Amino acid sequence: MHVANKNYCEVVVYTNQGIHKQTVLFDKEFVDKLVVKCTAFCLDHIVPEVIEQKFGR
């Protein structure tokens, strides 16, 4: 939703016993915290691995 700039999405689950549809609302506060954590993870773990593979130690 954040990337697509949408305020909600519909999640549909189909089983042998029927279909369930749930509306999920965008939670800006949650996403803002998640972006900070994901950015920190990438900078702390992903970027060093990519640099090490490219240039070695």
More confident residue, 57 or 17: 17
Residue 57: pLDDT above 70? no
Rg value, the chain, Cα: 18
Using one digit for the tens of pLDDT, what is the confidence trace for 44-54? 999 999 998 88
- What pTM was estimated for this model as a whole? 0.68
pLDDT classification of 55: cutoffs 50, 70, 90: confident
Token output for 20: 């369930």
pLDDT at 25: 98
Using one digit for the tens of pLDDT, what is the confidence trace for 6-43? 999 999 999 999 999 999 999 999 999 999 999 999 99
Of 31, 36, 38, 30, the residue nearest 3 (C-alpha): 31
Residue ranges covered by each domain of the chain: 8-55
